[in-house]
């Protein structure tokens, strides 16, 4: 069982990376874990299709044609993922809560009510100030301050601490209070014990 899992992960990684390499178009915004899943899917689906078309369950030695089918299917999956999941408004790269206009408050209130939350903490889009920044009256807290200066000029290390319903931005040189919504629009889930300490 363990050997099967290891072979699946290693094979999925190889097939996924090969599929990503031969797929046309922009594939750089697909994370490695998703590439591996495409490789695993390509390996399984490619093998199944190959056996259906040729009626061969296996051949002696290295079955190069089966592997070519696997890589081709992985390439198709990578292109599909790049088109659907990795586009700017897709589930992996959506930046809307950091970029929506102030008129977006009703939609945010709806999200908070459905999740029984009072605020949403988001990353992945560096704040303009390079500091942890509240939006929409503290309903959204942006915490991406560009911690890797190699990628973001003027970026800084930071952390957000939430203790006793108070939020604090922690930087190397200082601590700043952060305005976070006190109550959500719906029934808010009980505060976890760890945050009341």
pLDDT in tens, 86-100: 666 676 667 788 888
Cα 91 to Cα 22: distance, rounded to the nearest angstrom: 24
Q: Is 89 domain-assigned? A: no
Is residue 102 domain-shared with residue 79, that is, in the same domain? no
Is residue 74 domain-shared with residue 22, that is, in the same domain? yes
Q: 84, 110, 141 — which closes off a domain?
A: 84
Q: Is 139 helix (H, G, I), strand (E, B) or coil?
A: coil
Q: Is 91 domain-assigned? A: no
Residue 170 pLDDT more than 90? yes
Is residue 101 domain-shared with residue 74, that is, in the same domain? no
In degrees, rounded to 5, the angle at the alpha carbon of residue 14 between the alpha carbons of residues 151 and 84 is 60
Residue pair 52/1 in contact by the 8 Å Cβ criterion: no
Cα 76 to Cα 190: distance, rounded to the nearest angstrom: 45
Residue pair 81/25 in contact by the 8 Å Cβ criterion: no
Residue pair 106/113 in contact by the 8 Å Cβ criterion: no
Q: Is 90 domain-assigned? A: no
Is residue 110 domain-shared with residue 192, that is, in the same domain? yes
Spacing of C-alpha 118 from chain mean position = 22
Residue with tokens 């408004």: 89
Residue 62 pLDDT more than 60? yes
pLDDT for 1: 66
Q: 21, 55, 84 — which closes off a domain?
A: 84
Is residue 107 domain-shared with residue 179, that is, in the same domain? yes
| Reported pTM | 0.58
In the sheet that holds 120-122, the strands lie side by side as 120-122, 140-142, 133-135
Domain membership of residue 166 as a residue range = 96-196
CA atoms within 13 A on the CB side of 12: 18
Residue pair 124/93 in contact by the 8 Å Cβ criterion: yes
Q: What confidence tens digit (pLDDT) does each residue in 72-82 have?
A: 888 888 888 87
Cα 127 to Cα 144: distance, rounded to the nearest angstrom: 6
pLDDT for 175: 95
Is residue 14 domain-shared with residue 44, that is, in the same domain? yes
Is residue 110 domain-shared with residue 21, that is, in the same domain? no
């Amino acid at each position: 069982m363990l050997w099967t899992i290891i072979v699946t992960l290693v094979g999925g990684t190889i097939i996924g990376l090969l599929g990503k390499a031969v797929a046309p178009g922009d594939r750089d915004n697909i994370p490695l874990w998703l590439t591996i899943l495409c490789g695993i899917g390509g390996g399984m689906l490619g093998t199944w299709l190959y056996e259906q078309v040729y009626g061969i369950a296996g051949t002696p030695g290295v079955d190069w044609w089966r592997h070519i089918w696997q890589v081709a299917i992985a390439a198709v999956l990578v292109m599909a993922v790049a088109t659907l999941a990795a586009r700017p408004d897709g589930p992996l790269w959506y930046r809307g809560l950091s970029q929506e206009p102030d008129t977006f408050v009703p939609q945010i209130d709806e999200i908070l009510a459905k999740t029984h939350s009072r605020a949403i903490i988001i990353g992945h889009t560096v704040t303009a100030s390079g500091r942890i920044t509240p939006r929409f009256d503290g309903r959204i807290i942006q915490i991406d301050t560009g911690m890797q200066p190699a990628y973001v000029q003027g970026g800084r290390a930071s952390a957000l601490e939430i203790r006793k319903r108070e939020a604090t931005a922690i930087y190397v040189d200082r601590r700043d209070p952060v305005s976070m919504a006190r109550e959500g629009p719906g029934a808010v889930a009980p505060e976890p014990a760890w945050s009341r300490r």
